[in-house]
Amino acid sequence: MGNPRGGLDEQIEQLLQCKPLVEPELKALCEKAKEILMEESNVQ
């Protein structure tokens, strides 16, 4: 996969258009958010 975010931008765009994500997409989005937040030094 060339995009390291794996469709993250597309999922965010879909949510901004008030279009719901299917459950597996939502779970993957939450997991990715957790990964990103774990890497941030200013998040405890």
Domain ranges of the chain: 8-39
pTM comes to 0.63
Tokens of 25: 């997409």
Quote the CA–CA distance of 22 and 35 in Å, as a whole number: 20
Q: What is the pLDDT of residues 1-44, one digit of tens each?
A: 444 556 888 988 999 999 999 999 999 889 988 998 999 888 77
pLDDT value, residue 1:
40
pLDDT value, residue 6:
60
pLDDT value, residue 5:
59
**Which residue in the block uniquely carries the two structure tokens 């975010």?**
5
CA distances 34 to 19, 27, 30, 39, Å, are: 22, 11, 6, 9
pLDDT value, residue 19:
95
25 CB-contact burial (10 Å; exposed 0-12 / middle 13-18 / buried 19+): middle
